[in-house]
Structure formats: structure tokens, C-alpha cells
Amino acid sequence: MFLRVKLLLILILSWCYSCMLSAQNKGFELVNFTADDGLSQNSIYTIARTAEGFMWFGTNDGLNRFDGTNFQHFKITTDDSITRSNVVLSLWPYHDGLLVGTDQELLFFNPKTAIYSHVTKVLPGLDVADKMGIKYLFKDSKNHIWILTIDHGILKYNPMMNSTSHFFQDKDVRSKVTGITECNGVIYVSTEQSFFQFNSTFEQVNITYPSKDINMRVLSVVKDKLWLAINGIGILIYDPKSETVQDFKDIYKGSQYPKDVTYIYPEDNTVWVGTRSMGLLKIDTDGLNFFSYKAGDSRNSLGRDFVLSIFGDNQDRIWVGQSGGGVARLTEINTIMELFRPSGRDGSNMQDPMVLGMLDAKNDTYYFGTLYGGLLFYDRKSGKYKYYKDEKLPVESKNIYGMTQVGQTIWMATWAGLCSFNMVTNLFNYYPDNVYGIGTELYSILKISDGSALLVSGTKGMLLFNLESRLWSACPDTAGVLKQKILVVRYMQESKNGDVYMSGMEDNFYMYNYLKGTFRFFSSSQQIRNIQMFL
């Protein structure tokens, strides 16, 4: 019942929330963060996520870490105490830290010590010049690290050999490298005038462009095809297998076609495209259409239409760095739940927000068992809530875990023992176990379908409670299992023919048949400790 109620509640709340979203959001909630929220600066050139879940943003004023609530700023001062450029253009997670490329050098940042070090401490043998500006970092399928510089071409670092290779060193092209990607094991690089594929050396890919004078700015792979973003023209799509080129506007339908693309980020069947003047485009590669997220005056829109960087964090969220607009977070609505917390968000009027049990009382009303506040009633339509407790009962009766409804009565497994609550009169009753002495510190409760009885369990074992006679009795047990061990059941769910599946503290997952008085233990689950829930 607990899981069914919980899943139903989530589905209802998610559906209701989606009804409130605007048409532009199309299933996403957008929140924009700026310096007013703690960012050190509002131009976000690069975005990364480290293994522990922190988001990192490279700005005009150093590195920023976001923990989901607060931003922390890390100025670039290396372990030799020399202050360097704080313009962070590129980031790449490496080992337990980050490779940080600025407009003057490449560094390694250790998040645990908050210390920047020279990159050769983690990439020994890397042949990198002093004051070499780093434009972009990329790791290929062979774990080679490719370093796109501002005016020194491209470096390829082989971590197995600790060796460095240099490409595009000619003075006419070394400052014009714009992008790098990998498609089916082949490395491709773009310059302002063309793009190349890498075998042992880079070879130019010859295609026909719409204009003689081109300025290629972005190169990306979408479903085994190369997307080439060219200023003033738009996006060309090149198929390496057929060696054919298509124009984006001949395939995809939308209101305004982009001609100033700054970033392309593919993700499953969606491609996110950043622009200088049109904001963020969401492209559906299945439906062959697109729409845009534009800048606005509210926090629920982009701060600027000039997008610098895009990053997906594998948690159904897209992060969008903007020039002067901060960073926006787009979250899919199916990961958003409506929060009910019986207090103000600032901690005022704090009651007991720790929920241990849930009961759906229908018509958008719910009861929750809490840690110390008693029984919490919530009317979702009105938003009103109320705590119920009886000060005449033992204080432990306010600590409520499992609940089940029989008619107008809620039966509760509490730390004091079995209690009931009448939803009409709002009165409590207490039914202590004076026979066996084990009916306290209860976790779980179940109204069995065959007979008028409750099956309850806690830290001291299992018992039956007859709802008609109000008397306690031992559970049928033909093999004497309950004499040999104490079964602490955290959750139970009845199947059929008297079979009740149970999960608990030590014996983990098993089945009890109250009609036959038999237990069945599953050996494959015994290696898993403390199974608290199942479905």
C-alpha cells in the first residue's frame, strides 16, 4: 500500500505540475542563475560535472562550484602563489580533479585541496608552451587528450607514452582552429575555412560550401553525421559514409533558422544549439523540428540570447552558459515533484517534516506518520495541514511508521505499540500488548484479507491483533521459526491465498503464509542486508 500510494501521488503531482507549464517550456522548467545568486561573474564559457555531483563553471572571473544550492568561487592562484589569468575557457574532469584551461595556460585543479598546479604534475611529458591560451579540451575513445589552443594549433597528449604531438602549427592556420570531435573512431577538426579528418595526419575533407568566404565556428557529431556551423550561413550536415552534404533548413522546420551558432550539444534524440542572437534551440531529430528558449525579464527565462556553452549532466538537466546572462538550468518535468513541507522554507513554524509512513485517504487528502510530531493530515487542494496526537497516550505514540485504513479508522504501528485514529471524531485509542510483551517498537502493519485481523511487526517480533475481540495472539508457526529467531519486518504486502511477502532487518526478504503458518526464505537475498522496501 505504501508504494502504491507513493507512486500514485508522484504521478498525480507530476501531471498537475505539467498542466501549469507554459507552452514554450515544452516539458522543461528553466531557472537562471546570475551573480545575484552567487556566481563570481555572468559570462560562462565552459561547464563540467565531477564524479561527486558538483557542477563547475568557468567564467571571466575564475572557477565556480555549484552544490545545488550555493556557488563557491575559486580564484586561480597556483601552488607557487602566483596569481594568473582568471578567464577560464575550458574544463575537463581528470582523475580526481579538473583540467582548467585559461586564456594563458593549462592547469590542474584539486577540488579537495582547492589548489591549482601546473598541468605537467598530472600529465607528465606534456609539451606545452608558457602563456599558451587554451580554447577547448577533448578526450577521444583511446584516452588521448586533445588540446585546442588560442594561437598554437592543436596538441595531442598520449597518457600511455607521456608524449605530445603538435598539429596545425603553420602561422596561417594555428590561430584558426575552431573545433574537434570524434565520429565512429575518426577524429575530425575544423578550422575557420575547412575541416579535416585524422588518420596518421590530418587530411582536408573536400565538400562544396554555399559561399567562398566561410567562417566555420562549431563542429559536432549527431547520429554519426557531422554538423558544421558556419557564421552567416547556418548548419551543414555531412555524412562521412556517403560523403554528401545537406542543409539544416532543408530538413528541420522551425520559425527562424540559426546563422550564428556558437555551440552544439547532442543528447539522445535531442540536439541543443546555442546561438549569439536567438538564444537556445531545442532540436527534435525524430520530429525534424525545433523551437527556441529566449531571454526574458524573469528568472524563468534566459538572461541573454548569447549562448556560450551547453552541458548535460545525465540527470535530465541541461545547463546553459550565457555571455553576461549567467547560467540557466533546464530540468525535465518528469523529475520534478511537488514538495509538501509542514513549515516555512526559512525554517519558521517548524513542525516535524520527517515522514516515516504514508496513507492515501482519497479525495486529495493524505495522512503521514512522523518521527515525533504524531499523525500529520494534509489536504492537497487547500494546502492546509494539521498534526494530530493524544497527550494522554505514551509519548512514543507520536513516532508512527506503518499505517493501514479499515473503514473510518487508521491503524498505526508506533514506537509505543498499536494505536488507532478515527478520521471522523479525530480520537485516538491505544492497544498495548499485555500478553506477549513484544507489541512495542512497531514498524509495519497489514490488514490481512482472510479474517478480521492485523498482522504487525517491530523490533521484538510478529503478532496478530483481532479487530473484533481486540485481543492479541501469536502468529501461526508450524515449524517454530519464530521461536528460533526474531523477524523484524519493515514492510509487508499480501499477495494471495494467505501469502505475505516481507522485507526486514536481518533475514532480508521472505514470505509468510498466515493460513498455513509457514515461512519461505529466499537464499539469494540473504547477502543483501536490511531490505526496507519492495514492490
Give a yes or no: residue 60 inside a domain.
no
For the chain, which residues score pLDDT lower than 70? 1-26, 79-83, 334-337, 343-350
Q: Do residues 307 and 262 make contact, with C-beta atoms less than 8 angstroms apart?
A: yes
pLDDT tens-digit map of 64-99: 999 988 999 999 987 666 667 999 999 999 989 999
Give a yes or no: residue 91 inside a domain.
no
What pLDDT does 10 receive?
33
Same domain, 169 and 245: yes
Q: State how far the Cα of 487 lies from the Cα of 477, in Å rounded to an integer.
A: 12
What pLDDT does 51 receive?
87
Tell me the residue range of the domain where 502 lies. Answer: 355-525
Which of 209, 163, 157, 167 has the alpha carbon at shortest distance from 188?
A: 167
Q: Please state, in angstroms and as integers, the Cα–Cα distance from residue 445 to each residue in 74, 256, 266, 490, 515, following that order.
A: 52, 60, 49, 9, 17
Residue 250 β-bridge partners: none
Last residue of a domain, one of 274, 305, 335: 335
Indicate the number of domains in the chain.
Answer: 2
pTM: 0.62
Beta strands in 268-396, from DSSP E residues, in sequence order: 270-275, 280-284, 289-293, 307-312, 317-322, 326-332, 355-360, 365-370, 375-379, 384-388
Same domain, 183 and 245: yes
Same domain, 518 and 383: yes
Residue 318 β-bridge partners: 312, 330
Beta strands in 250-339, from DSSP E residues, in sequence order: 261-267, 270-275, 280-284, 289-293, 307-312, 317-322, 326-332
- Kind and range of the H or E run holding 10: helix 2-20
Give a yes or no: residue 509 inside a domain.
yes
Same domain, 14 and 155: yes
pLDDT tens-digit map of 136-182: 999 999 999 999 999 999 999 999 999 999 999 999 999 999 999 99
CATH number of the domain residue 251 falls in: 2.130.10.10
Q: State how far the Cα of 330 lies from the Cα of 279, in Å rounded to an integer.
A: 13
Give a yes or no: residue 188 inside a domain.
yes
Q: State how far the Cα of 53 lies from the Cα of 38, in Å rounded to an integer.
A: 19
Same domain, 510 and 394: yes
Same domain, 236 and 280: yes
